[in-house]
Amino acid sequence: MEQDRILTLLNSVKNGETTPEEALLKLKTQPFEDVGYAKIDHHRNLRHGIGEVIYGEGKTTEQITGIVSAMIGRGQNNIMITRLTPDKAGEIGKQHQIDYDPVSRIGICQHEPEPARCGLVVVAAAGTSDIPVAEEAAVTAETLGNKVERLYDVGVAGLHRLLNYLETIMSARAMVVVAGMEGALASVVGGLVACPVIAVPTSVGYGANFAGLSALLAMLNSCSGNVSVVNIDNGFGAGYIASLINHIGEKG
């Protein structure tokens, strides 16, 4: 971990094993690594508590593998790669250990499961077609050390399905609500729970949903004050924010 490296360096200065000038030079060269096609932020974990995540879409297998190699070389684990195709995951697996989930399209290199801490993150999806985006949120939150409960196919077309899980949703510290079509589920959930609700509009729906724009606008106009919204199909962003909320108050 980068934080451990810096603490070791500072202790080395304290003990007289490294001069302040030498330590300064090392710190100057540590924040990022330029590999030509990418500048890898090795201090992301130190600043955010969460290491850099690789967005796989649009990158070649060679580029992704190179970035992963550089991160592993700096002692990083649980390296997440989002929007990863099965073919690319297979190629990466020839060089690095990778756990790949084809539903969420997330690959994790050097996977060391984090112990689930704090409270509960609940991920609710309106329909079965929304599950890939919901799984992106759920897998992200789990990888970042959260206990996650999934509630799938609980949309407003059959509201009794959601109400069957009232005890679960009311015990959540943060909720991710994923819905396409008109996106109404986020407002309904927001009116039932006290915790923050992160709404994820999806591109699921018929022609006039404008590839998710109708759900996005509906969620942005929610009358439930505890609802915030991420971009269309951005399950990763929702899972990331839910994790930050769930870990508020932790030491370290």
Query: In DSSP terms, which residues pair with 151 in a beta bridge?
Result: 124
Higher pLDDT, 239 or 77: 239
Question: Which pLDDT value is given to residue 200?
Answer: 98
* pLDDT-based confidence at residue 25 (cuts at 50, 70, 90): low
* pLDDT-based confidence at residue 172 (cuts at 50, 70, 90): very high
Question: Which pLDDT value is given to residue 74?
Answer: 75
Question: Which pLDDT value is given to residue 4?
Answer: 65
Rounded distance between C-alpha atoms, residue 179 and residue 125, angstroms = 6
* pLDDT-based confidence at residue 28 (cuts at 50, 70, 90): low
Q: Cβ distance 176 to 123 under 8 Å?
A: yes
CA-to-CA dists, residue 194 to 16, 94, 170, 181, angstroms: 53, 46, 7, 25
Question: Which pLDDT value is given to residue 36?
Answer: 72
Map tokens 């991710």 to a residue.
Answer: 176
pLDDT at 55 over 70: yes
Which of these, 106, 134, 121, lies nearest to 201 by C-alpha position? 134
Question: Which pLDDT value is given to residue 50?
Answer: 78
pLDDT in tens, 143-171: 999 999 999 999 988 888 999 999 999 99
Question: Which pLDDT value is given to residue 10?
Answer: 74
Work out the percent of the chain whose per-residue pLDDT is above 70. Answer: 88
What is the CATH number assigned to the segment(s) 117-246? 3.40.50.1970
66 token code pair:
């190179």
pLDDT at 90 over 90: yes
Q: Cβ distance 74 to 29 under 8 Å?
A: no
Which of these, 71, 72, 68, lies nearest to 88 by C-alpha position? 68
6 token code pair:
């810096």
pLDDT at 81 over 60: yes
pLDDT at 47 over 90: no
Domain with CATH 3.40.50.1970 in the chain: 117-246
pLDDT at 7 over 60: yes
Q: Are β-strands 32-34 and 39-41 bridged in parallel, bridged antiparallel, or unpaired? A: antiparallel
Question: Which pLDDT value is given to residue 16?
Answer: 81
